[in-house]
């Protein structure tokens, strides 16, 4: 279908973009790569009266290390993240997720800021960003503010952002030599959203045990779901096959996933257990 008519703006600065959002309020929508916005406009699920395109705004496309923090500009594409040696080295779960978003076209145009702001429950980044302890930097009419990833995702397609705010940067602590991370997802076809996605960030103790674990699932709730019971199981002893199975079973408890055309709720619960085990093992086998 063809989108309803809209007014198009391509501001040259962030301040200009914020002014436009303030002027037009909830009638306006930001556009990053258009990879979620345009399909929704074509289907007329969304029909903004004004589209504010960020492509001309400078300094939103970067990946850099700043001491113990990795900083990523909101307009950084999935392709750039997946190919970045710094991200592969320090935050491999993020590189994993960036590499399995959609197809090459989507990865070349879609951005981490757009994906996070879109907040699809079955998208690949949200669980990874929560597991990695990311923070969102947003700019609005009242200036900049920072929102932790755990507070950012509020519901399906709903974030803590005000309609007048723009995500400018996503940052997260560098994972040190004792940390390993991975992201794995199950989807029907390569280009599909996750039926279930699992992000795991593990910390190894000096004795070679799992001393810390953050395990977060996508696709099984309206927001990323942290598998706290599974994390406790992983820390309780050596990571052998029995413990991985036990962690998978723990992750399945209390899940209340949706049923849709991709998979029913029980299937999502069953594969969650399997994917928690696989992802934890993939993370554990990684060494810096």
Residues near ligand FAD (CB under 6 A) are 29-37, 39, 54, 74, 101-102, 106, 109-111, 113-115, 117-118, 123-124, 161, 166-167, 191-193
Quote the least distance from Cβ 47 to ligand FAD, whole Å: 12
Q: Tell me whether residue 5 or residue 177 sits nearer to ligand FAD (CB atom).
A: 5
Minimum Å gap between C-beta 178 and ligand FAD is 29
Give alpha helix (H) positions in the chain: 14-24, 37-42, 78-83, 85-90, 92-99, 104-109, 112-118, 125-131, 149-152, 228-235, 241-252, 265-284
* CB 201, min distance to ligand FAD, A: 19
The tokens of 136 are what?
């969102």
Residue 71 and residue 64 in contact, taking contact as beta carbons nearer than 8 Å: yes
Nearest distance from residue 138's CB to ligand FAD, in Å?
7
**Residues contacting 157, CB < 8 A, separation 6+:** 118, 119, 120
- Select 191 or 254, whichever has its Cβ closest to ligand FAD: 191
Query: Which CB, 192 or 229, lies closer to ligand FAD?
Result: 192
Question: Which is closer to ligand FAD, CB of 32 or CB of 227?
Answer: 32
Angle at 137 between CA 141 and CA 15, to 5 degrees: 35
Q: Which residues of 27-39 are buried (b: 16+ CB within 10 A; e: fewer)?
A: ebbbbbbbbbbee
Q: How far is the CB of 94 from ligand FAD (least distance, A)?
A: 12
Smallest distance, Å, CB 126 to ligand FAD?
A: 8
Task: Name the residue nearer to ligand FAD (CB basis): 118 or 214.
Answer: 118
Compute the distance between CA of residue 100 and CA of residue 282 in angstroms, rounded to an integer: 16
Side by side, the strands of the sheet bearing 50-53 are 7-9, 50-53, 28-31
Q: Which helix (H) or strand (E) holds 173?
A: strand 166-173
Question: Nearer to ligand FAD by C-beta: 147 or 234?
Answer: 147
């Amino acid at each position: 279908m063809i989108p309803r008519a809209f007014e198009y703006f391509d501001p040259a600065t962030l301040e200009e973009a914020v002014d436009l959002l303030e002027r037009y309020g909830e009638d306006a929508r930001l556009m990053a790569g258009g990879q979620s916005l345009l399909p929704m406009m074509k289907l007329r699920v969304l029909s903004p009266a004004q589209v504010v395109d960020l492509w001309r705004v400078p300094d939103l496309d970067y990946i850099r290390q700043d001491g113990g923090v990795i900083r990523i500009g909101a307009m950084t594409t999935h392709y750039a993240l997946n190919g970045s040696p710094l991200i592969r080295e320090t935050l491999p779960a993020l590189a994993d997720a960036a590499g399995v978003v959609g197809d090459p076209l989507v990865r070349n145009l879609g951005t981490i800021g757009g994906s996070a702001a879109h907040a699809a429950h079955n998208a690949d980044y949200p669980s990874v960003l929560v597991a990695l302890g990311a923070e969102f930097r947003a700019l609005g009419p009242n200036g900049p503010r920072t929102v932790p990833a755990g507070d950012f995702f509020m519901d399906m397609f709903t974030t803590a952002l005000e309609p007048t705010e723009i995500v400018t940067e996503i940052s997260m602590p560098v994972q040190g030599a004792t940390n390993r991370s991975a992201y794995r997802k199950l989807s029907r076809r390569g280009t599909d959203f996750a039926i279930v996605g699992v992000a795991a960030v593990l910390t190894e103790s000096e004795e070679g045990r799992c001393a810390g674990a953050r395990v977060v699932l996508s696709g099984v709730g309206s927001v990323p779901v942290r598998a706290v019971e599974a994390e406790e199981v992983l820390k309780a002893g050596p990571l052998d096959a029995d413990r991985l199975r036990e962690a998978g079973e723990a992750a399945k408890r209390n899940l209340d996933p949706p049923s849709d055309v991709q998979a029913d709720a029980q299937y999502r619960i069953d594969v969650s257990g399997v994917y928690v085990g696989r992802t934890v093992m993939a993370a554990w086998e990684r060494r810096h």
